[in-house]
Chains A and B, each alone.
Chain A
């Protein structure tokens, strides 16, 4: 949205605001300052953003939210530090903290920046005359910060790419899926380390339970429901970025950044954070704008463990479609065509090591191969597990040895192809 004029940012709607609970509280109780007709006198000691001190100004009435919020990612920005810590060594953390405070800390969000005014990071300004909004206005709050990737994808602002079906058809705002309790961090037993830590919140199958493995007759869901994240089949082209470098301007003394490239991708990679909560073997991956010299302004070789994390990362693009190019037919992925996959040739040579856990080395076999896979013997019903290779990799008890071309599938659950007899 267009930037607000200075007066617009602070114009109070007396009638609307006065009719609200917050409107019954004296201005100076939250904002400090002094009652005076002189602006400078009135603003002496002004607290422009009281909710930057939520314990002092919000907790009395909103104790649960305030307490939980302290551990939420919007407050801690721990996602940055989880990545920075992994790629660096403790001796370099003081320099990195200086970098963080200059370039990253502005994304910290207060209660007010979701519920009463636009985030300071995007210029500030009251939403609606100082009326507090229980539901943050999507484009003036959520996507004002999460705009260049999530916002543009969700709202369909990337040329030639449709917006997310949940927005196009359902006009759903962010909190329809990302509920306030989640955003506030309520229910967390410990502070989150990044946005993908812990249970999936939200989880697609919470609203689409039949799409869960075994939940409907869709053969795609049955075959892939527990090996592919939903976005592998249902998201489309999204944004990746390269090499963000940060520095402080010699001219103005202000921090600035420079991103070397922004481009559209849709690439499926191996899941670099596969765990009980995210068991998928394959997920869409997005290139994040980091390189070994991103923070060079603040010191030499500050990301000395750069290869500890991939640069193509687990991603959840916000442009979900029912029908996508890759789910049009089986052979879109099962044809030996690498177009949809993050293969080594698509990774910069200097980033190959960092992305070893993500790069797809073996493309899915042709679909005919799956359909022609022999059915397991009936007595194998009792052996249904991932343990097929215990016998078939060495040929125990005359079991046929795993075929050579199955080398890439040794961790697979064989029954996805070798069905049990009905």
Chain B
């Protein structure tokens, strides 16, 4: 009886192990994706607050902050 119980446990354990997911090899150091710090040069314009766009998409703000245009009359005459 004792041996039958022992045999059952061995078979049960074997069957259970067959259902376990297959192990995958760990990535080598070379294959591991490196975590790179977000480059300040490749941020998207909309990432965070983009003060450039905030101003340059606001017509009223651009009008308010535009430098007065100096009416410089050209002294050129004739067809250029």
**Chain A residues with a Cβ under 8 A of chain B:** 5-7, 10-14, 18, 23-29, 31, 33, 35-37, 39, 42, 148, 239, 241, 244, 249, 251-252, 254, 256-262, 289
Contact = CB atoms under 8 A, between A and B. Distances in A.
Contacts of A262: 78-79
B3 interface: no
Contact of B65 (A39, A254, A256, A258): A39
A23 B45 contact: yes
B39 to A, nearest CB: 10
Contact of A258 (B41, B47, B78): B78
Given A6-B67, A249-B75, 13 more contacts: A7-B59, A14-B57, A18-B46, A23-B45, A24-B44, A26-B41, A26-B47, A42-B51, A241-B79, A258-B77, A260-B78, A261-B78, A262-B78
B80 A148 contact: yes
B56 interface: yes
A14 B80 CA distance: 36
B52 A39 contact: no
Contacts of B9: none
Contacts of A25: 42, 45
Interface residues of B, number: 32
Contacts of A39: 55, 65
Contact of B80 (A37, A252, A257): A257
A27 B79 contact: no
B50 A259 contact: no
Interface string B46-69: 110111111111010011011101
Contacts of B78: 241, 244, 257-262
Contacts of B43: 26
B18 interface: no
B36 interface: no
A244 B75 CA distance: 13
10 A-B pairs with least C-beta separation: A259-B78, A7-B62, A27-B52, A256-B75, A12-B56, A6-B66, A256-B76, A258-B77, A148-B79, A14-B57
Given A256-B76, A260-B78, A6 B69 contact: yes
B70 to A, nearest CB: 10
B16 interface: no
Contact of A27 (B50, B76, B77, B80): B50
A33 B56 CA distance: 14
A288 to B, nearest CB: 12
B34 to A, nearest CB: 22
A18 to B, nearest CB: 7
